[in-house]
Amino acid sequence: MTTSLVPPGTGRTPAAPRAPHALARASSLVVPALDAAVERLDPSLHEPVRHHLAGGGKHVRGGLALVAAAAVGGTEGEAVPGAVAVELVHNYSLLHDDIIDGDRERRHRPTVWARFGEGVAIVAGDALAALAIQVLLDAPTPARMEAARRLADANQAMISGQSADMAFEARARVTVEECLAMERDKTGALLSAACAIGAVLGGADGATAEALGEYGEHLGIAFQAVDDLLGVWGDPSSTGKPVGADLLARKKTLPIAVAFERGDAVADELASIFSRASDQSEVERATLLLERAGVRDAVAAIADEHLRQGLGALDRVELADKPKEELVEVARYVTARDR
Amino acid sequence: MTTSLVPPGTGRTPAAPRAPHALARASSLVVPALDAAVERLDPSLHEPVRHHLAGGGKHVRGGLALVAAAAVGGTEGEAVPGAVAVELVHNYSLLHDDIIDGDRERRHRPTVWARFGEGVAIVAGDALAALAIQVLLDAPTPARMEAARRLADANQAMISGQSADMAFEARARVTVEECLAMERDKTGALLSAACAIGAVLGGADGATAEALGEYGEHLGIAFQAVDDLLGVWGDPSSTGKPVGADLLARKKTLPIAVAFERGDAVADELASIFSRASDQSEVERATLLLERAGVRDAVAAIADEHLRQGLGALDRVELADKPKEELVEVARYVTARDR
């Protein structure tokens, strides 16, 4: 193999983990195919969609689809339509979520609704969602149909996750179980579908596709748990968000659910901070409170446990060595706490 | 046959055309299946989606799918998943269009975004669009896959039509050809898909499905042309909109495109009215101007021509007698000028 499981340090501390070679290779296949698919959209949507896609991204979902296909003995090329379709669904959800969350910037650039208007962003998102199904059903094979079915199911699960997240805002508390179910739907479902779709297009049997789907689901939950940690303790220079951004926005993410569930003085104090408009000094106090109470470690343990289960799913089935190593590498990369 | 091609008068003038029996029969099959499909959504979306669906509607698209299946020798029951899927796509587009157009009421009830918020309306629309594909791909048959492919294509065409309609707002003039292309995409594509999907699920060969799709497309354009006529000359008590509503909103519908294309004094005067904020008296003058210039008759002739072509497509293939009569009846009903 040409890549190492442990990315080499850059000499600075903390070393930013280097993106696995598999993701760069996948991007070189996915990006041209994604661009070609976007050409099929109404010309009036080319500018807003390209503006959004030009923001970049590592194509983790598309990359997982390609590596999964290779892992089950297929070729990455066979899985390109699946990779494009999951990237399209991911990006449609970003376009709509940015409107819903009122986010005016993404990756330091104006979001589509902020730049082109809400109507354009709604329609552009709808167009990408429809395009995902079109790309898969261009060729009428049973594998493509199975892929489209899994993608529609994952899309519906993402919507459930987004709905739950919105419903959480109106509630005083959420349980860890509810929060994990929301994150499984919102993030795990599409990562799971990406892996399973890649496997199906690569010719996998049912059990192998399920195992890869399970890997993707756990990976998604672990990824989201780490994202929640970074939302409280992340370095603003890496996350692009202010210190304690999620606390300031009073988002009910995993650290908050874990703290509430303790039902002790920490929970009460957090509830009290949550019940009033917080300023930066209160956010700093809440952050310290959460850390001292062991919440940071508890959430990190949840992430580690899902990473472990995800990697365990890969061991249950027969996979080609090198792609399997790449799946492990991608999992470690997207759940790294200094990303 | 139990229904007549010419609906009996009610004794009043003008007689409102009676809804064909085929549509009532179709609703009795489609509504329970649609309700069952909605059960699959995240529980937080049940209330907004049911609020929207409770507004009613005649299920013209679902009805066309069922009658098309019977016309090609299948059963209406076989086409129910297709009918549900096209109704879901129609309703998702209404949820999103109401946000885009800022419409706070539909059928005298608050729209979903006005009642539950924009975020809920965006997500509820996304959920119905995904559900449409799920309903079709529940059973992995070639006919279901073909139906899903046609539905995704129609969805993309609707999005193109909506995008073109939005782009028209920023323009001074549009041609009749551009306007008809927009209406073919925005309205014709889904009516076409409804008929073709019904035919495919009913076991039709390719040529027969194409002919039914062509009937649906022309029907959609004729329906939209009549809708445009009613937007200018419709009776407010039937349309639920004020006299000349489309003129007041300065929408670039077919009558306006026809008038602009004349390039004479009528076009110049209309452009002048369009270029400034119009009041009711100016709208009345524009209405009179359009009528005197023969625009009303010209648009009615376009509607009649598409109705004629749509009915002509039915004569090109072998269809069962009674369902074929019902397709003719539905076509005359949805393009009636006193609806």
CATH of the domain at B112: 1.10.600.10
Is B240 or A212 the better-scoring residue by pLDDT?
A212
The mean pLDDT of B78-107, rounded to a whole number, is 96
Domain assignment present for B339: no
User: At which residue do the structure tokens 């970003």 appear?
Assistant: A94
Domain assignment present for A276: yes
Closest approach of B149 to chain A, Cα-based (Å): 6
SS3 B238: helix
Q: Do B156 and A41 touch (CB under 8 A)?
A: yes
Q: What is the pLDDT of residue A310?
A: 98
Q: In angstroms, what CA-CA distances link B82 with A126, B33, B69, B136, B202?
A: 20, 11, 10, 7, 10
- Asked whether the predicted pLDDT for residue A17 surpasses 80, the reply is no
Other Cβ atoms within 10 Å of B64 Cβ, number: 37
Interatomic CA distance for residues B263 and B259, integer angstroms = 8
Q: How confident is the model at residue B13 (pLDDT cuts 50, 70, 90)?
A: very low
Closest approach of B237 to chain A, Cα-based (Å): 30
Q: How confident is the model at residue A57 (pLDDT cuts 50, 70, 90)?
A: confident
Interatomic CA distance for residues A135 and B309, integer angstroms = 32
Buried-state track B314-325, b at ≥16 Cβ within 10 A, e below 16: beebebeeebbb
Residue A319: burial class (beta carbons within 10 Å; 0-12, 13-18, 19+): buried
Closest residue of chain A to B125, computed from CA coordinates: A126
H helix or E strand, kind and range, residue A312:
helix A295-315
Domain assignment present for B9: no
Other Cβ atoms within 10 Å of B231 Cβ, number: 21
Q: What is the pLDDT of residue B251?
A: 83
Interatomic CA distance for residues B308 and B53, integer angstroms = 32
Q: What is the pLDDT of residue B339?
A: 66
* ipTM score: 0.92
Q: What is the pLDDT of residue B10?
A: 38
Residue A222 identity (one-letter amino acid): A
Q: Do A164 and B123 touch (CB under 8 A)?
A: no
Cα distance from N-terminal residue to C-terminal residue, chain A: 24
- Asked whether the predicted pLDDT for residue A230 surpasses 50, the reply is yes
Q: How confident is the model at residue B131 (pLDDT cuts 50, 70, 90)?
A: very high
Other Cβ atoms within 10 Å of B36 Cβ, number: 11
Q: What is the pLDDT of residue A4?
A: 34
Interatomic CA distance for residues A315 and B85, integer angstroms = 40
Please choose, from the candidates A116, A140, A50, A122, the residue with its C-alpha nearest in 3D space to the C-alpha of residue B129: A122
Closest residue of chain A to B120, computed from CA coordinates: A163
Tokens of A197: 């779709």
Q: What is the pLDDT of residue A9?
A: 36
Number of domains comprising chain A: 1
Residue A210 identity (one-letter amino acid): E
Q: In angstroms, what CA-CA distances link A76 with A27, A216, B123, B132?
A: 12, 17, 33, 30
- Asked whether the predicted pLDDT for residue B170 surpasses 60, the reply is yes
Q: What is the pLDDT of residue A240?
A: 67
- Asked whether the predicted pLDDT for residue A273 surpasses 70, the reply is yes
Cβ(A153)–Cβ(A81) under 8 Å? no
Residue A335: burial class (beta carbons within 10 Å; 0-12, 13-18, 19+): buried
Q: What is the pLDDT of residue A49?
A: 98
Query: What is the interface size between A and B, counted as CB pairs within 8 Å?
Result: 129
Q: Do B156 and A134 touch (CB under 8 A)?
A: yes
* Mutation target vs A (from B112, B122, B153, B200; most A CBs, 10 A cutoff): B122
Q: What is the pLDDT of residue B8?
A: 40
Please choose, from the candidates A150, A127, A133, A148, the residue with its C-alpha nearest in 3D space to the C-alpha of residue B150: A133
Q: How confident is the model at residue A251 (pLDDT cuts 50, 70, 90)?
A: confident
Closest residue of chain B to A140, computed from CA coordinates: B145
Name chain A contacts of B99, Cβ cutoff 8 Å.
Answer: 118-119, 122
Q: What is the pLDDT of residue B255?
A: 93
Query: A181 in contact with B at a CB cutoff of 8 Å?
Result: no
Domain assignment present for A11: no
Q: Which of A194-208, B89-103, B285-299 has the lowest mean pLDDT?
A: B285-299
H helices present in A13-141, as ranges:
21-38, 46-53, 60-71, 80-101, 112-116, 118-137
Domain assignment present for B5: no
Q: Which of A17-31, B48-62, B121-135, B263-277 has the lowest mean pLDDT?
A: B263-277
Interatomic CA distance for residues B283 and B286, integer angstroms = 5
* Residues 6+ away with beta carbon under 8 Å from A49: A38, A41, A112, A124, A127, A128
Q: What is the pLDDT of residue A193?
A: 98
Interatomic CA distance for residues B152 and B158, integer angstroms = 10
Is A29 or B236 the better-scoring residue by pLDDT?
A29
Tell me the per-residue pLDDT of A137-182, one tens digit each, with 9 for 90 and over: 999 999 999 999 999 999 999 999 999 998 998 888 899 999 999 9
Please choose, from the candidates A154, A153, A137, the residue with its C-alpha nearest in 3D space to the C-alpha of residue A145: A137
Tell me the per-residue pLDDT of B189-199, one tens digit each, with 9 for 90 and over: 999 999 999 99
Tokens of A161: 């996750």
Nearest CB partner across the interface for A156, out of B118, B131, B160: B131
Q: What is the pLDDT of residue B5?
A: 35
* Mutation target vs A (from B47, B162, B163; most A CBs, 10 A cutoff): B163
- Asked whether the predicted pLDDT for residue A250 surpasses 90, the reply is no
- Asked whether the predicted pLDDT for residue B212 surpasses 80, the reply is yes
Containing structural domain, residue A226: 21-334
Name chain A contacts of B100, Cβ cutoff 8 Å.
Answer: 118-119, 122-123
Interatomic CA distance for residues A264 and A268, integer angstroms = 6
The mean pLDDT of A3-21, rounded to a whole number, is 52
Domain assignment present for B266: yes
Cβ(B197)–Cβ(B65) under 8 Å? yes
pTM of the full structure: 0.93
- Chain A neighbours among B 238-297 (CB < 8 Å)? none
Q: What is the pLDDT of residue B190?
A: 98
Is A272 or B319 the better-scoring residue by pLDDT?
B319
- Chain B neighbours among A 208-237 (CB < 8 Å)? none
Tell me the per-residue pLDDT of B284-298, one tens digit each, with 9 for 90 and over: 888 888 998 999 999
Interatomic CA distance for residues A218 and A23, integer angstroms = 19
- Asked whether the predicted pLDDT for residue A337 surpasses 90, the reply is no
Closest approach of B226 to chain A, Cα-based (Å): 26
Phi and psi at residue A110, in whole multiples of 5°?
A: -60, 140
What secondary structure, in 3-state letters, does B291-314 show?
HHCCHHHHHHHHHHHHHHHHHHHH
> To the nearest 10°, the Cα dihedral for A53, A55, A59, A61?
-70
The mean pLDDT of B201-230, rounded to a whole number, is 97
* Mutation target vs A (from B38, B96, B137; most A CBs, 10 A cutoff): B137
Closest residue of chain B to A146, computed from CA coordinates: B140
- Asked whether the predicted pLDDT for residue A210 surpasses 50, the reply is yes
Please choose, from the candidates A146, A157, A153, A149, the residue with its C-alpha nearest in 3D space to the C-alpha of residue A199: A146
Interatomic CA distance for residues B48 and A18, integer angstroms = 45
Can the peptide bond before residue A14 be classed as cis, meaning omega within 30 degrees of 0? yes
Residue A10 identity (one-letter amino acid): T
Q: How confident is the model at residue A278 (pLDDT cuts 50, 70, 90)?
A: low
Q: Which of A120-129, B128-137, B172-181, B303-312 has the lowest mean pLDDT?
A: B172-181
Q: Do B134 and A153 touch (CB under 8 A)?
A: yes
Phi and psi at residue A18, in whole multiples of 5°?
A: -80, 140
Q: What is the pLDDT of residue B60?
A: 96
Domain assignment present for B34: yes
Q: How confident is the model at residue B318 (pLDDT cuts 50, 70, 90)?
A: very high
> Percent of chain A, pLDDT > 70?
93
Nearest CB partner across the interface for B42, out of A140, A146, A163: A163
Domain assignment present for A15: no
Q: Supply the DSSP string of B151-188, one letter for each residue.
A: HHHHHHHHHHHHHHHHHHHTSS---HHHHHHHHIIIII
Interatomic CA distance for residues B223 and A110, integer angstroms = 40
Is A54 or B284 the better-scoring residue by pLDDT?
A54
Name chain B contacts of A125, Cβ cutoff 8 Å.
Answer: 126
Tell me the per-residue pLDDT of A103-115, one tens digit each, with 9 for 90 and over: 999 888 999 999 9
Q: Which of A41-45, A144-148, A279-283 has the lowest mean pLDDT?
A: A279-283
Tokens of A248: 């300031």
- Asked whether the predicted pLDDT for residue B325 surpasses 70, the reply is yes
Q: What is the pLDDT of residue A276?
A: 72
- Asked whether the predicted pLDDT for residue B110 surpasses 90, the reply is yes
DSSP E strands in B10-125: the ranges are 105-106, 109-110
- Asked whether the predicted pLDDT for residue B12 surpasses 60, the reply is no
Q: Which of A257-266, B100-109, B198-207, B210-219 has the lowest mean pLDDT?
A: A257-266
Q: How confident is the model at residue B246 (pLDDT cuts 50, 70, 90)?
A: confident
The mean pLDDT of B203-215, rounded to a whole number, is 98
